[in-house]
Amino acid sequence: MNLLTRKLVAKELHLHRWLIAGTVAAGIAGVLMSAGGELGFNVGFLVWLTAIIALGVLIAIFGVAGERKERALPFVLSLPLDPATYVRAKLLGLLLCFLLAWAPLCAAAVALVVAMPGIADGLLPFAVLLCGYLLLNFSLVLSGALHIRSEGGMVAVVVLTNMSVSLFMMGIGRIPEVGRYMAGPVPVWNAMFWELLGAELVLTLGVLSLPLFIAARRRDFL
């Protein structure tokens, strides 16, 4: 990674620093609320989940769609780097912004399940799979923002990916190899869990690779 690429990545971190900090604060507050009984758990989980999803959407909108709307292409073309390098720096910078909030919030959620006696440890595999899917969900939104230029198309991506989170949670719970152990006293890390986690990882890497092969080849990539 050359100096200019590092500066572009650092620019994304600087621009979104307060958004990252606010997301972490809101997510941690949701985790703490989840320790306060059944109602607190439901409300806290919703706050935690909304914070992560909203961060992904806002990063994609402000970091890509907003830059395109502001006609930043002349500035980009004035830089001593090719479109592929700029797309790679944009992708890496925004992904790092998301990971800086996603990682501690996922760790906090896992720690809550482990530490709280009122929450079944059998939820741990579900929690890990949900965290993996939230990363995949953000990857889809970010890749969509880098490829789709119309506001209507981007709105459709955001709506569909947000809906998919609820569908994912319902679908995972209906898989017998996962759902039957969720209320159990110990986590069950069976073959189905590892297959699902592996599929999430492969899909995430695949989705994040798409801009490097498609968006980066455009001359007017913004």
Whether the model clears a pTM of 0.75, i.e. scores above it, the answer is yes
pLDDT tens digits for range 23-81: 999 999 999 998 887 788 889 999 999 999 999 999 988 878 666 665 555 566 566 66
Give the chain's mean pLDDT.
87
Q: What is the pLDDT of residue 48?
A: 96
Q: Could you tell me how far CA 214 lies from the centroid of its own chain?
A: 21
Q: What is the pLDDT of residue 79?
A: 64
Give the range with max mean pLDDT: 74-88, 118-132, 144-158: 118-132
CA-closest candidate to residue 211, choices 152, 111, 143: 143
pLDDT above 90 covers what percent of the chain?
Answer: 59
pLDDT tens digits for range 102-112: 999 999 999 99
Look at 117 and 105; give whichever has higher pLDDT.
Answer: 105
Which band of pLDDT confidence, cut at 50, 70 and 90, is reported for residue 161? very high
pLDDT tens digits for range 181-211: 998 889 999 999 999 999 999 999 999 998 8
Q: How many C-beta neighbours within 10 Å does residue 98 have?
A: 24
Domain boundaries, the chain: 3-217
Q: What is the pLDDT of residue 39?
A: 85
Q: What is the pLDDT of residue 146?
A: 85
CA-closest candidate to residue 108, choices 129, 131, 90, 92: 131
Q: What is the pLDDT of residue 163?
A: 93
Q: What is the pLDDT of residue 100?
A: 96
Q: What is the pLDDT of residue 72?
A: 57
* 44 neighbors 36 (Cβ within 8 angstroms): yes
Residue 216 in this model has a pLDDT that exceeds 60:
no
Q: What is the pLDDT of residue 116?
A: 87
C-alpha pair distances (Å), 214 with each of 20, 83, 96, 210: 28, 11, 21, 6
Helices (H), the chain: 3-15, 17-34, 37-60, 66-69, 73-78, 83-115, 124-147, 151-173, 176-179, 191-213
Q: What is the pLDDT of residue 96?
A: 95
